[in-house]
Amino acid sequence: MKHTSRKWSLRIVVIGYLGLLVGLPVGFLLIHAFNHGLVAFWREVTKPNAVAALKLSVEVALVAVPVNTVVGILAALILARRKFFGSRALIVAFDIPVAVSPIIMGVALVLAYSKIGWFGQWLGDYGIRILFTPVGIVMATMAVSLPYVVRSVLPVLVEIGKDQEHAARTLGAGSFRIFWQVTLPAIRWGVLYGVTLTIARTLGEFGAVLVVSGDITAKTQTLPIYIFAAWDQNFDSLGAFAGAFVLASISVVALIILSSLRARERKLHVDLA
Amino acid sequence: MSISLSHLTKRYASVAVVDDVTVEIPEGSLTAILGPSGSGKSTLLKMIAGLEMPDEGRVVIEGDDVTDVDPRFRDIGFCFQHYAPFRHMNVAKNIGFGLRVRKQPKAVIAAKVSELVELVKLDNKALSYPSQLSGGERQRMALARALAIEPRVLLLDEPFGALDAIVRTELRHWVKELHRQIKVTTILVTHDQDEAMEVADQLLIMHSGTIEQAGNPSELYDAPATDFVHGFLGPTTVFKGVVVRPHDLEIVSPSSGVMEGVVTSIMELGFEVQVTLTLSDGSMPWVQMSRNEFRSLGVAPGAPIAVRERVAL
């Protein structure tokens, strides 16, 4: 009896904690997004500026996620398979963009690429503008979502070790085949997890993007910035709620796809002993 | 000679883990490299496979100098202590991997795979995944995978090290039998002297990066070249200041003895009995004998005895 009551009180604490921090706010968001009915919600999310913001966010993700995935896998392979001078420092360097506040990354990017710095001036001489353009937004987004793939793939690579790759090599396989047929299948869950986190961060990034984008409506406004602008400047709370609902939905769908893929895989193979 | 290694040396941060090893491994033999952990035996094996690059020396396989040849072109079968299965492929796909790499026709691969699953007694598990196999089954799968490419040399790195005692014994017998059937030159790395003595027809004893002695198991057991080999290959005790095997000593009645003393303690281990003595010179050798010998001797702790070396027949 006593045991059961303790189990229940623990559950209530956990559920209560989650409820206060996640459930309640998201619930209110849901209620308010649909407060004025589906028609009003649809009108809000199909406003030209909202559509432009969503489009920009998706475009940024379409560039940033694949690039960061490829770079992340390559970096993890190098860091896990080759020990070289400074490799530890490099692992730490990959974490810097998420360890510091996004605002700092944004400001740092402005310093580097605006006319303030010699590099930005030099680029300007060749007519290359990065700040206040989608290119700048992509760069800021890639910077803040850089470590996720590296960080989720690196421990998996270290854990599986080199034996499978060595076995494949003695069986005659070249590096390309070893990567596609042995290494990548072995790290696929790490990659998928990292990609999911990267997508979430890429779509949701606010601070760094705000600083480098210049917040130009319908031009350099990503969905999170649109939501903030609607809420803060245009007193359009329904627009903010509707946009927030769309943004949250995309992330939740990504999470659901990931976990259902995993469940299917578990069913197919008795789990690794 | 199937494999010849000359002046092979590997250093990690200026410490030589393999130090100027020169050795010939006969064609078709089953050779065990035996040594304690850290003796460099695994590194030596990996250099033969090309998975480690030597700092000095040459590796020659069947007359070809392969020192600078990538492992993928050496035609070597390599098995790892932890089997290194491709976890996302079933048993048949694992075994067929090397053949697919070699772009063999599908029918040829299928025929070879079904022949091999039978050879390693996994014919009812061909569609299972590695996670569904026991340790012994995984190692048999790894062996079949290595054999599929018809390697010139089969290299086994502590192949039984991660298995429990019963499976280990079974698999040892099986590997010996397999080698008798297919006769591929095989090198096995192990730290277990029983395993090496039982399976191998040639032994290389390694100690701190060098080869202490090479030869067949009984030669090495009977005529160990160094104290290390003596101690590593079987039980030893010290009699008259010399290292001897405890079963080469014989307890006799005090009158006929060379050195007198008393029985200190007796340990009965089933068939084997170990009798520890305290001799007049203060030394404490122990004598190994069969249960029957011990019975007929009829000694108890404190009994006065004499001891001498058995006369070789």
In B, minimum Cα distance to A175 occurs at: B72
Residue A269 pLDDT exceeds 60: no
In a shared domain, residues B273 and B172: no
Let me know: does A160 contact A186? Beta carbons within 8 Å: yes
Mean predicted confidence (pLDDT) in A253-271: 74
Q: Which of B189, B210, B231 is the last residue of a domain?
A: B231
Write out chain B residues lying below 8 Å of A181, CB-based. 86
CB contact under 8 A, B132 and A270: yes
SS3 call for A100: coil
CB contact under 8 A, B76 and A169: no
CATH number (domain holding residue A42): 1.10.3720.10
CB contact under 8 A, B71 and A167: no
Inform me whether the C-beta atom of residue A156 falls under 8 Å from chain B C-beta atoms: no
Domain for residue A116, yes or no?
A: yes
Beta-strand relationship, B242-244 and B237-239: antiparallel
Inform me whether the C-beta atom of residue A168 falls under 8 Å from chain B C-beta atoms: yes
Chain center to CA of A122: 31
Residue A270 pLDDT exceeds 70: no
Let me know: does B99 contact B149? Beta carbons within 8 Å: yes
Write out chain A residues lying below 8 Å of B141, CB-based. none
In a shared domain, residues B173 and B251: no
| Model confidence pLDDT, tens digit, residues A232-259 | 887 888 889 999 999 999 888 888 888 8
The H-assigned helical ranges of A19-84 are: 24-33, 37-45, 48-81
Residue A272 pLDDT exceeds 70: no
pLDDT the model gives residue A273: 36
Residue A222 pLDDT exceeds 60: yes
CATH number (domain holding residue B293): 2.40.50.140
| Model confidence pLDDT, tens digit, residues A162-219 | 999 999 999 999 999 999 999 999 999 899 989 999 999 999 999 999 988 887 777 7
In a shared domain, residues B120 and B203: yes
CB contact under 8 A, B87 and A186: yes
Inform me whether the C-beta atom of residue B265 falls under 8 Å from chain A C-beta atoms: no
Domain for residue A273, yes or no?
A: no
In a shared domain, residues A1 and A53: no
Name every residue whose Cβ is closer than 8 Å to that of residue B311 and which is 6 or more positions away in sequence.
none
The predicted complex's ipTM stands at: 0.85
Q: Going from the first residue of chain B to its last (313 residues), give the mean pLDDT of each consecutive group of 10, the final group possibly shorter.
A: 91 92 94 92 95 95 94 94 94 96 95 94 94 93 95 94 87 91 93 90 93 92 90 88 89 76 91 92 91 90 88 66
Write out chain A residues lying below 8 Å of B129, CB-based. 269-270
Instruction: Report the share of chain A in percent with pLDDT over 70.
Output: 96
Phi-psi region of B249 (alpha: psi -120 to 50; beta: other; left: phi over 0): beta
In a shared domain, residues A2 and A57: no
In a shared domain, residues B125 and B243: no
Q: Which of residues 34-53 of B touch A (CB under 8 A)?
A: 49-51
Residue A66 pLDDT exceeds 90: yes
Structural element, H or E, at residue A266: helix A237-268
Residue A271 pLDDT exceeds 50: no
Write out chain A residues lying below 8 Å of B102, CB-based. 172
Name every residue whose Cβ is closer than 8 Å to that of residue B197 and which is 6 or more positions away in sequence.
B203, B217, B221, B233
Exposure b/e, B245-270, CB count within 10 A at least 16 = b: bbbbbbbeeeeebebebebeeeeeee
Let me know: does A266 contact A257? Beta carbons within 8 Å: no
Q: How far apart are CA B116 and CA B121, in angstroms?
A: 8
In B, minimum Cα distance to A177 occurs at: B101
